[in-house]
Amino acid sequence: MSSIYRETFDRGPGGWISSFASSGNFDSGGAPLGWKKGRMTTRSPWWVDYNHAPPGAGYLHMLFTLNTRGPFGEQTKEVGGPNRFVAGGYSRDFRNARLTLRLRGELATRGAEVVLLVQSKIGDICTGWLLTSRPFKVGKQWKEQSAVLSVNEKKWTALGGRYNRLDYYNVLPLESALREVRTNIMLVLFPLDVRPMGPLKGNPHRLRPGRDYPVWTSHLPEGYIELDTVQIETKH
């Protein structure tokens, strides 16, 4: 068996949400921020996600997010629009699924890479895995790229959580997470070179960059990325 989910963003975001520094959810024309017919866009500066600081895998920028099941909050429904993945009843069994993306943009990566993040809540734990063995490249021309979501943990990086979030963000087996992706998938920039601006007392990983202390943005990725096609071919 196989099923193919394909999103081209011709009829709205389809449940996808772009990350922007702006707190506004819509542009001046009333369209969801980041969506234009046929594509989604994300643009720096991006928020530094500190929920997975060491002892977790580290800091990341969230670029594009798709929730894989409901119920959805009002803001998610308003910004992402109807979620065609959930409405279509597509399989959440991503074991050995093939993900295909078409991307373009201009990006100063500064050591980070665009990678897939899969998150699944199992019981009280949300476990996240980054497909760090298969990053996606971003250039000025549209390029289609594919990755197989292998169940081999050596191809992934377990995300984990910061010291005070381990009761929620922690590591469970990859195969369990991929068998039913119960939370979301994301494209993220990882890892980030988070450098405090000025001296700090104590362990910086117990503080929140950008909130508890300023950071040198010159060491963080800059640019924009456009996404015009997402396809997920599942095998189960």
Segment 140-148 shows an average pLDDT of: 98
Beta strands 35-36; 184-190: pairing state: unpaired
**Residue 27 confidence (pLDDT) above 80:** no
pTM: 0.94
SS3 84: helix
CA gap 202, 162 in Å, rounded:
15
Place of tokens 């971003």: 138
Is the CB of residue 36 less than 8 Å from the CB of residue 83?
no
Q: For residue range 66-94, list pLDDT tens digits in order.
A: 999 988 888 788 889 999 999 999 999 99
> Given pLDDT bands bounded at 50, 70 and 90, which one contains residue 236?
confident
Give the mean pLDDT of the chain: 93
How high is the pLDDT of residue 140? Answer: 97
Segment 131-144 shows an average pLDDT of: 98
Residue type, 127: T
Q: For residue range 170-209, list pLDDT tens digits in order.
A: 999 999 999 999 999 999 999 999 999 999 988 999 999 9
Report the percentage of the chain scoring pLDDT > 90.
86
**Residue 26 confidence (pLDDT) above 70:** no
SS3 83: coil
Report the percentage of the chain scoring pLDDT > 70.
94
State whether the Cα torsion 48-168-128-156 is positive or negative: positive
How high is the pLDDT of residue 73? Answer: 86
> Given pLDDT bands bounded at 50, 70 and 90, which one contains residue 118?
very high
Is the CB of residue 183 less than 8 Å from the CB of residue 71?
no
Q: Take residue 70 and report the two structure tokens written for it.
A: 């409901």
How high is the pLDDT of residue 77? Answer: 85
Tell me the CA distances in angstroms from 143 to 51, 138, 228, one per residue in order.
31, 8, 10
